[in-house]
Amino acid sequence: MATLHDMEIFARVVELDGFSAAARGLGVSRSYVSKRVMALEEQLGVRLLQRTTRKLSLTQEGEVYLGRVSRIMADVEEASASVAVMQSSPRGVLRLSAPLTFGQEVLMPIVSAFVALHGGLSVDVVLTDRHVDLVEEGYDMAIRVASLSDSSLIARRLAPVDRCLCASPAYLAARGVPEHPKELKGHDCLIYQHERVGDRWRFERGGEEVVVKVSGRVRSNNGEALRVAAVAGLGFAMLPRFIVGRAIERGELVLALEGWCNWDAAVWAIYPHGRHLSARVRLFVDYVVERLAAARGEAQGA
């Protein structure tokens, strides 16, 4: 099958009326141009150009072929121009996956504002706590709230996640309030199953780091479910503030070990290896970073 490269060389030979002029225009040797045109004729099984010492002219087959080639090259140029326009003014559909609660509480307001700003873009959001296969399932990207360790993915850290250790007032009244993370070994703890080290909670304070292996009677792959269990008095939960913040404000949950920090998790944008990052993905990720930073600044100011 003839290549676009050979078609372009043939068209330039005709346009510039000669092999030497076409070679200069393409920045290659005259012999290379001649060889490629001969190879094209051999592939097609016809003579395209009538060559004499003084003149170069198209054969009847060459005239027909040039007409088709010209349309093909115009289509290629138009396709390239269309992609360039999409890169400068992104258009199309952005398909992404995000965790259920984070998506509902944090991401969807950002998506709504983003779509309002960019009329040429659509966003297809699938909310699931399952770690989707980006390549197999056709996603452009995923948002994950996790302690990331998967080397098969390219990731950009978007924002830290403020995790809260909390329990219900009834649980604390019955079981006591821990003063050090190690005391959690004697408590019921609610385990998030999606994390690789979901039962190993890490705490930091003033340079001291403590990792506690916790246990409990309730495990779940959903943060909202663990929040409900914590409010019901079933133990301590270690969950992002966007999941437990309102319950804390209402007094349904109480913070514990407030002097200790846990920054294991962050919000990440995930992409498959080897996939060119489209303009619409870059634009969306930059916007998410901006909005998350603004929200964090407002929360700290409050």
- Per-residue pLDDT tens digits for 124-172: 999 998 888 888 888 989 999 877 655 566 888 898 888 899 999 999 9
- Per-residue pLDDT tens digits for 267-277: 999 987 755 67
Q: Can 4-88 and 92-161+266-301 be said to share one CATH topology?
A: no
Nearest to 244 by CA among 149, 168, 187: 168
Specify the pLDDT at position 150.
53
CATH 3.40.50.300 matches 4-88: no
The structural domains of the chain, with segments of one domain joined by +, span: 4-88, 92-161+266-301, 163-255
What type of residue sits at position 2?
A
What is the rounded CA–CA span in Å between residue 170 and residue 178? 14
Q: What is the band of 37 on the pLDDT scale with cuts at 50, 70, 90?
A: very high
Specify the pLDDT at position 85.
52
CATH class of 92-161+266-301: alpha beta
At the fourth CATH level, which superfamily is domain 163-255? Answer: Periplasmic binding protein-like II (3.40.190.10)
What is the rounded CA–CA span in Å between residue 136 and residue 119? 29
Tell me the torsion sign for CA atoms 229, 231, 232, 238: positive
- Per-residue pLDDT tens digits for 188-222: 999 988 766 678 898 998 888 999 999 999 999 88
